[in-house]
């Protein structure tokens, strides 16, 4: 087999992953990437066609691994809870832990997750579209599981809360040292395991919050009335 090809491609992917994460899509030039990868400038266009296609290749290489781990964990939670629905915490853990573990496993993993978080806000690239194309099915599994775990909660509220939890996760994983805004050095004194616990605690409590808001409560009430009618 032509291992030289795979080597060149992987060296480019590794370098692009790091530089896109560190400097952003616009900030990292193809020239910087080929320098870091020790390959020729033209190799990128030969193997990946364009800079944006290279970015998608970088993302695709690892995102499928994370989604597989998420779904495997969700499958296990659903099997363990059967015939009932798994708890919100079980669903949240199944979603969050594979990402956080990837970020905490080694520097490469941290870099990749940082890149993912960054790309959510990156100009000229729609991470939403990308994930919809590549992870749409996994996302549907999780929103369905959350909705089942919270039968009295309006689906709209469930979606927004899941959305907020994802925001909290990406805020944590996107930029090391950002917590220093609140308290200098806090990140350095909190272990990875504690950070993960804090994130899960926060997310589960936020998702399960009792609806004190009038609008939310009204929607929950009308949903209960509807579900009673259907019985």
Partner DNA sequence: GTCTATAAGGAGATAGAC
Partner DNA sequence: GTCTATCTCCTTATAGAC
Name the residues that contact a copy of itself, by CB under 8 A: 22-24, 26-28, 117-118, 120-124, 127-128, 131-132, 139, 143, 155-157, 159-172, 174-175, 177-183, 186, 189-190, 193-195, 197-213, 215-216
Residue number with CB closer to a copy of itself (8 or 18): 18
Write the binding mask 41 to 60 for DNA: x where contact by CB under 7 A, - elsewhere: xxx-xxx-xxxx--------
Task: Residue 169: name the closest of 207, 210, 209, 122 by CA.
Answer: 207
Residue 2 interacts with which of a copy of itself, DNA, none, CB < 5 to 8 Å by class: DNA
Residue 75 interacts with which of DNA, a copy of itself, none, CB < 5 to 8 Å by class: none
Q: Do 76 and 141 meet the contact criterion of CB atoms below 8 Å apart? A: no
Residue 39 interacts with which of DNA, a copy of itself, none, CB < 5 to 8 Å by class: DNA
**Alpha-carbon gap, residue 51 to 26, rounded angstroms:** 10
Residue number with CB closer to a copy of itself (73 or 196): 196
For the chain, what's the residue count? Answer: 231
Residue from 15, 16, 30, 94 in contact with DNA (CB under 7 A): 30
Long-range contacts of 164-169 (CB under 8 A, 24+ apart): 164/206, 165/92, 165/96, 165/203, 165/206, 165/207, 168/199, 168/202, 168/203, 168/206, 169/96, 169/99, 169/100, 169/199, 169/203
Q: In this structure, is the dihedral angle defined by the CA atoms of residues 206, 207, 209 and 213, taken in order, positive or negative?
A: positive
Question: In the complex, what is the shortest distance from the CB of residue 231 to a copy of itself, in angstroms, rounded to a whole number?
Answer: 26
Peptide bond into 83 cis (omega under 30): yes
Residue 36 interacts with which of DNA, a copy of itself, none, CB < 5 to 8 Å by class: none
Residue 147 interacts with which of DNA, a copy of itself, none, CB < 5 to 8 Å by class: none
Residue number with CB closer to a copy of itself (103 or 169): 169
Residue 45 interacts with which of DNA, a copy of itself, none, CB < 5 to 8 Å by class: DNA
Residue number with CB closer to a copy of itself (82 or 182): 182
> 30-64 in b/e burial notation, b at 16+ Cβ within 10 A?
beebbebbebeeebbeebbeebeebbbbbbeebbe
Site membership for DNA, residue 160 (CB under 7 A)? no
């Amino acid at each position: 087999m032509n291992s030289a090809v795979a080597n060149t491609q992987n060296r480019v992917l590794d370098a692009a992953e790091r530089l896109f994460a560190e400097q952003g899509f616009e900030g990292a030039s193809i020239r910087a990437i080929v320098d870091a990868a020790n390959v020729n400038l033209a190799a990128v266009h030969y193997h990946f066609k364009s800079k944006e296609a290279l970015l998608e290749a970088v993302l695709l290489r690892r995102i499928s691994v994370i989604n597989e781990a998420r779904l495997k964990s969700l499958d296990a939670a659903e099997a363990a809870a059967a015939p009932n629905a798994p708890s919100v915490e079980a669903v949240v853990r199944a979603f969050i832990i594979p990402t956080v573990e990837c970020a905490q496993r080694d520097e490469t993993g941290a870099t990749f997750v940082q890149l993912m978080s960054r790309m959510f806000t990156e100009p000229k690239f729609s991470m939403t579209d990308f994930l919809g194309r590549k992870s749409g099915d996994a996302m549907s599994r999780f929103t369905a599981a959350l909705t089942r775990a919270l039968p009295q909660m309006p689906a709209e509220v469930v979606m927004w809360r899941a959305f907020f939890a994802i925001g909290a996760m990406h805020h944590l994983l996107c930029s090391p040292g950002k917590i220093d805004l609140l308290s200098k050095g806090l990140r350095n004194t909190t272990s990875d395991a504690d950070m993960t616990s804090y994130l899960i605690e926060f997310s589960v409590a936020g998702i399960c919050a009792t609806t004190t808001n009038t609008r939310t409560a009204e929607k929950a009430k009308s949903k209960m009335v509807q579900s009673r009618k259907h019985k």
